[in-house]
Amino acid sequence: MKTRLKGNALIGQSGGPTVVINQSLVGAVQEALRHPEIRRIYGAVHGIQGTLGQDFIDLKAEKPSTLELVRHTPSAALGSVRKKPSEAECEEIFKVFRAHDIRYFFYIGGNDSAETASIIARLAEKNGYELRVCHLPKTIDNDLLVTDHCPGYGSAARFVALALMGDNLDNRALKGIKIDVIMGRHAGFLTAAAGLGRRDEDDGPHLIYVPEVPFSIDSFLSDVDENMKKHGRCIAAVSEGIQDAQKRPVLQAIGGQGEKDSHGNVALSGTGALGDFLAQQVRDVLGVSRVRADTFGYLQRSFPTVVSDIDAREAREAAVYGVRQMTKGGSSSASVAIRRLGRGKKKSGYASECFLTPLETVAKNTRGLDPGFIAPSGKDITADFVKYALPLVGKLPEMGRLRRKPVPKKSL
């Protein structure tokens, strides 16, 4: 058995919150409490930002009942951040780690967070400072490499699937054209979830546009027109990140807001501009009167009570697994990933396990929808996507529908 690395642990949360990111936080804390070589358990307030300012809190001072409640609470209880530290800031971070004897660093986030974790791990190695850095995956975009899927996705996808189930019924009751704009910069996983609740042939969304397929406004208008003729109504689920053939975000092309974060990403959420633009195009060109656009915005990622049980469990398990692996010392730095298992003995037909992957394999790039998840038409998902995603969102409620036996008309 290897010598145990004694010292303090630091946990941080980064990037966009999810409804299960606190499952990872509390999972890491509760597991760390079982390992005596981890002396103190600190939380970094607002991630790397708080680390730079030594803005740490003592997570051992939290009551177990508080931790249990936080575990089921949406958004990042430690505070989050969108920041990529500079070289100089990374040097500063090491001074802080050394001063506080931080030997375990758990960073919960997406690929930007994995990159931050990777930079810190490399600096530690270069400086001969023994540090175990573990990236815990979290993103509603589901765009991390290596892993089958990401904690946070299942619950956000559940929100989107439920929203479209309701919207389909709303649009059937008061017909017209409805455009729903869903989060997702490069990856269409969340937008694709719009189709998970469909049951009947005429159920919406009738069109699904993801960033992986070049978007053409002319095709969009003719697609909508075709569905209006077929169903007398049309719901289109559109990713906020849809791009034209030149890979330029449509939102940017129409002059949407231009805020940028420190990773250079233009803000796509928090504005209704894309939906309003598409709705106006439909009004102007197709001349349809009842056209509405909803932009789901931040509701998708932090709505209390809309949680996938499997997602919540996996978010916790990934963190527990990460702490166990780091204390074992099998690897000095890694990212936790999830592997889907064969059907096994579980009735649900779904099982998964965690494994470690080098930080570098997750940090650099992201992935989009598998080509097999996108219908050949480029405006819908496939049965393979439903098979992939449905276990992650959990059981969706059954919707009732009247058979509507017509009453014979009378002559007046």
Phi/psi of residue 218, nearest 5 degrees: -65, -45
Our answer to whether residue 141 is catalytic in this structure is yes
Residue (69 or 341) nearer to a copy of itself, CB = 69
Q: Residue 121, exposed/middle/buried by CB under 10 A (0-12, 13-18, 19+)? A: buried
Identify residue 398 by its one-letter amino acid code. E
Query: Of 7, 9, 11, 13, which lies in the binding site for a copy of itself, with binding defined by CB under 8 A?
Result: 13
Binding flag, residue 163, a copy of itself (CB under 8 A)? yes
Q: Least Å distance between CB 216 and a copy of itself?
A: 23
Q: Least Å distance between CB 90 and a copy of itself?
A: 14
The Cα 213–Cα 273 span in angstroms is 20
Query: Of 39, 84, 100, 231, which lies in the binding site for a copy of itself, with binding defined by CB under 8 A?
Result: 100
Residue (246 or 411) nearer to a copy of itself, CB = 411
Footprint on residues 338-397 left by a copy of itself (CB under 8 A): 397
In 3D space, the residue among 178, 164, 163 whose CA is nearest the CA of residue 291 turns out to be: 178
Q: Least Å distance between CB 161 and a copy of itself?
A: 9
The string over 257-276, giving b where at least 16 C-beta atoms fall within 10 Å of a residue's C-beta and e elsewhere, is eeeeeeeeeeebbebebbbb
Binding flag, residue 297, a copy of itself (CB under 8 A)? yes
Residue (234 or 356) nearer to a copy of itself, CB = 234
Catalytic residue among 55, 58, 141, 200: 141
User: In Å, how far from its chain's centre is CA 106?
Assistant: 19
Span interacting with a copy of itself, options 73-81, 112-120, 126-134, 202-210, rule CB under 8 A: 73-81
- On whether the CB atoms of residues 135 and 370 are closer than 8 A, the answer is no
Structure token pair of residue 352: 């998964």
Footprint on residues 29-58 left by a copy of itself (CB under 8 A): 40, 42-43, 45-46, 54-58
Binding flag, residue 88, a copy of itself (CB under 8 A)? no
Query: Of 28, 124, 131, 165, which lies in the binding site for a copy of itself, with binding defined by CB under 8 A?
Result: 165
How many other C-beta atoms can be found within 10 angstroms of the C-beta atom of residue 50? 21
Tokens 């990777």 — which residue?
A: 118
Residue (283 or 340) nearer to a copy of itself, CB = 283
Interacting residues of 385 by C-beta distance below 8 A, sequence separation 6+: 192, 195, 369, 370, 372, 373, 374
Structure token pair of residue 313: 């469990």
177-196 footprint of a copy of itself as x/- string (CB under 8 A):
-x------------------
Query: Of 72, 84, 122, 324, which lies in the binding site for a copy of itself, with binding defined by CB under 8 A?
Result: 72
Residue (267 or 286) nearer to a copy of itself, CB = 267
The string over 3-26, giving b where at least 16 C-beta atoms fall within 10 Å of a residue's C-beta and e elsewhere, is eebebbbbbbbbbbbbbbbbbbbb
The Cα 322–Cα 77 span in angstroms is 19
Q: Least Å distance between CB 401 and a copy of itself?
A: 7
The Cα 177–Cα 171 span in angstroms is 8
Residue (27 or 74) nearer to a copy of itself, CB = 74
The Cα 378–Cα 371 span in angstroms is 10
Footprint on residues 239-258 left by a copy of itself (CB under 8 A): 257
Query: Of 7, 11, 22, 131, which lies in the binding site for a copy of itself, with binding defined by CB under 8 A?
Result: 22
CA dist list (Å): 175 to 106, 181, 231 = 50, 19, 9
Q: Least Å distance between CB 372 and a copy of itself?
A: 29
Query: Of 37, 89, 170, 360, which lies in the binding site for a copy of itself, with binding defined by CB under 8 A?
Result: 170
Query: Of 166, 330, 349, 372, which lies in the binding site for a copy of itself, with binding defined by CB under 8 A?
Result: 166
Q: Least Å distance between CB 145 and a copy of itself?
A: 24
Query: Of 293, 319, 359, 363, which lies in the binding site for a copy of itself, with binding defined by CB under 8 A?
Result: 293
- On whether the CB atoms of residues 251 and 267 are closer than 8 A, the answer is no
| Active centre residues (catalytic) | 141
